Structure 1
Amino acid sequence: MTRIHMNKAMGLLGGLLFFAACSIPPAVQKTPQTNTPASFAGSQDTVNSAQLNWRDYFKDPNLVALIDTALLHNQELNIMLQEIQVANNEIRIRKGEYLPFVNVRAGAGVEKVGRYTSQGANDANTEIKPGKEFPEPLGDLMVGVYASWEVDIWKKLHNAKKVAALKYLSTIEGRNFMVTHLVAEIANSYYELLALDNQLEILQQNIAIQQNALEIIRQEKQAARVTELAVKRFEAEVLKNQSQVYAIRQQIIETENRINFLVGRFPGPVARQSNQFNTALPEPIRTGVPSQLLVNRPDIRQAELELQANKLEVAIARANFYPSVSIVAGLGYRAFNPAYLFSTPESILYGLAGDLMAPLVNRNAIKANYANANAKQVQAVFNYERSILNGFIEVSNQLSKIENLKQGYALKDQQVAALAQSVAISGNLFKSARADYMEVLLTQRDVLEARMELVETRKEQLITLVNIYQALGGGWK
């Protein structure tokens, strides 16, 4: 081939490669909206309770001990830690891909070709040394070093390493987000357990009061002031509340076992101080400003890292349209006889080759991968925006709930006090024949329900303070 023909061939090849690289679909550009309101409900407080360590936020030593145990032994959290290790190993894999691959190779074999073949006839007329024929069968011994390297011109491999690093950081944020959920779930279950203990105590106290009332009704029946109907109605009320005791005890067992599962241990009693239920409020909450959610909440940071990774994956998919350059080299010794294997320079072999390759025809798979990468990048933008919006709404909801529960608890407390007085009043009126037994029965039922609802409201207050701490991004530090 003449130099002119060579130049034409190279020009044609270059034109084809240029054409292959130029007909690339445009990238989809979408920028996330990260603007947040200036404050929560007009508050100008910049102090944020999310900065508090959970040990400082929760004061109950039994609850702190449970969370400590869960962070060590919770199976789901430990599974996530292994996911982090897998992501870390992926970085090492990607880092090795843009470095040269060097392999040592050794081989041995023997070959006998037919004499009446072109190779056999040629070997028959060839002498290794004067007076010595070509050996038959022919041995083949080889030892050498081989290297291959894909030149990362378009930074495809470097970007793949960056994607792996971002996904590693994303798994860490995923672990932090799981920790916030675990801390909140244990705290909520713990406060639910305290509430059940207090409801059980209230129910048992009410049963004692109703049993005393039942004795009074029986005496009134003997005095012919009431009928057997009144006695049976009071007996039925006592039995109903006694059966409810077992329902609450079952709830206590199930709540204890839920906590035991979260801390990674088998069923057993959970240490607690139920008499501190009404004084178990955590630290007063400080919301800070909404923009702090972008830093404090692990799920928002995870979504941001995933967005960055998806942007790089678009660049990687785009690089597949461009030509790739590979270099292959080898150096070693090869001979048909061990005696000649390391003869220098006669047995030395070496090679150096370069490949330039670009997709030209049937690029549908590359185009589809590129379109998928663009779609996932847009999806990641929406997910990031959704995470920010969800975080703000969660905080806003919990703030409103704190205030409403505070007002509701105060009124419910007044209701319980009024009903407690009505029980004594109805009893006195009944003794003086100025009220019937149904008024006494309904008053006792109302005060029981009100006291149980008061405990429920206190539990909701505690759970709301846990949830807003989590919504602000607290619990993982």
Structure 2
Amino acid sequence: MGAKYEQPNLKLPSEYRGGFESNGDSALFSVKWREFFNDPYLVGLIDSALANNFDMRIALKNIEIANRNLRINKSEYLPSVDANIGTVNKQYRSKDFYSSASSKWYDQKGEKAPESLFTYQSQFSSGLSFSWELDVWGRIANEGDILKADWLNTQETRNAVQTKLIADIASGYFNLLKLDAQIEVAKRNLSLNDSTLRMIKLQFDAGEITALALQQTESQRLLAASMIPELEKDIVIQENALRILIGEMPNAIERADSLSNTLVNFDEQNISLGSPLEIIRRRPDIKAAEYDVIAANADMNIQQIMRYPQLSLSGVFGVNSMLPKNWFNIPGALLGGIAGELTTPIFKNKKLKNIYEVAKIDREKEELNFQRTVMEAVSEVSNTITTVDKQKEQLDLSNQRVANSQLAVKNALLLFKSGYATYLEVITAQSNALKSELDLLEIKQKQLNSYVSLYRALGGGWD
């Protein structure tokens, strides 16, 4: 009874829109995360996170719960049996009650039945009872489909947590390396400013320049010096954030010495991005969205089944007596019975129909959500491909800018010593050099993050 699930038409394009073509044989999404990252410190952090991160551990507990629910569903195909170890039932009535005392009870006791609070009924029983619903229309089977979809959903949730966790750790680790590099740039620039300040002081003492030149040079030096404690603060905060991700108390993080593209295995010429169809089989969020549709489809079937007749069997076997002394008198106290029940709803004020229609609409809603998730995933991959390509161009331009600004600082100092440049030109050149080097490190970090984002967007990182 009900409709079988069929995957909707997703109208996928044949290829991604992006800024570069990949013609390699190795699919990026199929690369294991241990092979994608080259840095042993980063791999160690990820290993610790997968074992100790609280979100990962919660996801595993959810999988255990879903697995237990599946076992419960399988047992519903079997009859349920209950044991009545012992029941004592005594009811008392008085003369105004529309009945009379049980003469048998008082005759056996050799007593006269009273008029008030006489024993009206007395039972002592033990036995076994069972009930069994026959799954004629497949209600239990459809409930099993819902629970199976939930179980698979928890698996994909765990995979999604892992891919996000790996990406977050990689991003934080790259940020830490960037901060290390930036603090080195700041210290180097501070040393350069110290040299310039000493030179300016000599010229001021010789009366060749004004006090304004000395003050502006000192301000430039203080600006470079103030960056160092700010960066040191950011380093501690980032280290603590990484420690939280790996489930440990705040502490320092061991790391590599430099920020470079060699931290990840990404070669545009030797990788394949695959097709949009493949991310449906890979991305945890897409698979989870489809399992939601499957569960909604099964629930719709259940609501349809509830409008049809239900067949069940029940029975009881045990002992029952009026007097305690005859409780286990065999065969006199034996009790047995079996019943078959076929019930069907007749008039429910259209409640069952409307519940079914709501379930049907909910299934359509989950299908729309599935289609939207697929569309957003394809768009995310396309955006990330473009980002990778354009950041490569930005990196080339930024390298040229750093080389040019460093040359400008060198020439400004030489010209200043020769009297062909002012102190303002020296300060401006040093300021531009500092900014260009810091910007270069930002772009390097963004490029590494874009590689990780593309790897994750294609469905990699969970195996």
Superposition deviation, residue 227 in structure 1: 0.6
Superposition deviation, residue 373 in structure 1: 1.4
Find the aligned partners of 2:77 and 2:423 in 1 and give their Cα distance: 89
Find the aligned partners of 1:314 and 1:139 in 2 and give their Cα distance: 48
Distance 1:28 1:228, change over 3 A: farther
Secondary structure of the residue aligned to 2:382 is helix
Distance 1:58 1:252, change over 3 A: same
2:76 aligned partner: 97
Superposition deviation, residue 154 in structure 1: 1.4
Find the aligned partners of 1:46 and 1:388 in 2 and give their Cα distance: 25
User: Does the CA-based 8 Å contact 1:139-1:336 persist in structure 2?
Assistant: yes
Q: What RMSD, in angstroms, separates the aligned Cα atoms of the two structures?
A: 2.7
**Within the alignment, does 1:291 sit opposite 2:277 as a pair?**
yes
User: Does the CA-based 8 Å contact 1:162-1:309 persist in structure 2?
Assistant: yes
2:28 aligned partner: 49
1:150 aligned partner: 133
2:345 aligned partner: 359
Q: Normalization by structure 2: what TM-score? A: 0.90
2:375 aligned partner: 389
**Within the alignment, does 1:123 sit opposite 2:99 as a pair?**
no
2:8 aligned partner: 32
192-201 or 275-284, which moves further after superposition?
275-284
208-217 or 392-401, which moves further after superposition?
392-401
Find the aligned partners of 1:149 and 1:278 in 2 and give their Cα distance: 65
2:333 aligned partner: 347
Counterpart of 1:421 (choices 391, 394, 407) is 407
Q: Normalization by structure 1: what TM-score? A: 0.88
**Within the alignment, does 1:202 sit opposite 2:202 as a pair?**
no
User: Does the CA-based 8 Å contact 1:111-1:140 persist in structure 2?
Assistant: no
Secondary structure of the residue aligned to 1:79 is helix
Find the aligned partners of 1:116 and 1:223 in 2 and give their Cα distance: 127
1:7 aligned partner: none
Residue correspondence of structure 1 range 412-451 to structure 2 within 5 A: 412-451=398-437
2:169 aligned partner: 186
Superposition deviation, residue 94 in structure 1: 2.5
Q: Name the aligned partner's letter for residue 176 of structure 1.
A: N
Q: Which structure 2 segments of 5+ residues have no match?
A: none
Find the aligned partners of 1:134 and 1:165 in 2 and give their Cα distance: 65
Secondary structure of the residue aligned to 2:407 is helix
How far does the alpha carbon of each residue in 1:361-400 deviate from its partner, in whole angstroms, 9 at most, with x for none?
A: 3344433432331122112111211221122111111111
Q: Name the aligned partner's letter for residue 303 of structure 1.
A: A
Residue correspondence of structure 1 range 8-407 to structure 2 within 5 A: 32-41=8-17, 43=22, 45=24, 47-105=26-84, 106-110=86-90, 120=100, 123=103, 139-275=122-258, 277=260, 279-284=262-267, 285-407=271-393
Find the aligned partners of 1:463 and 1:360 in 2 and give their Cα distance: 62
User: Does the CA-based 8 Å contact 2:183-2:231 persist in structure 1?
Assistant: yes
Q: Name the aligned partner's letter for residue 383 of structure 2.
A: N
Secondary structure of the residue aligned to 2:337 is strand
Superposition deviation, residue 459 in structure 1: 0.5
Find the aligned partners of 2:389 and 2:79 in 1 and give their Cα distance: 64
Superposition deviation, residue 97 in structure 1: 3.1
Secondary structure of the residue aligned to 1:140 is strand
Find the aligned partners of 1:88 and 1:99 in 2 and give their Cα distance: 18
Secondary structure of the residue aligned to 1:275 is coil
User: Does the CA-based 8 Å contact 1:282-1:462 persist in structure 2?
Assistant: no
Secondary structure of the residue aligned to 2:123 is strand
Superposition deviation, residue 101 in structure 1: 1.4
User: Does the CA-based 8 Å contact 1:46-1:289 persist in structure 2?
Assistant: no
Superposition deviation, residue 310 in structure 1: 1.0
Q: Which structure 1 segments of 5+ residues have no match?
A: 1-20
User: Does the CA-based 8 Å contact 1:74-1:263 persist in structure 2?
Assistant: yes
User: Does the CA-based 8 Å contact 1:194-1:277 persist in structure 2?
Assistant: no
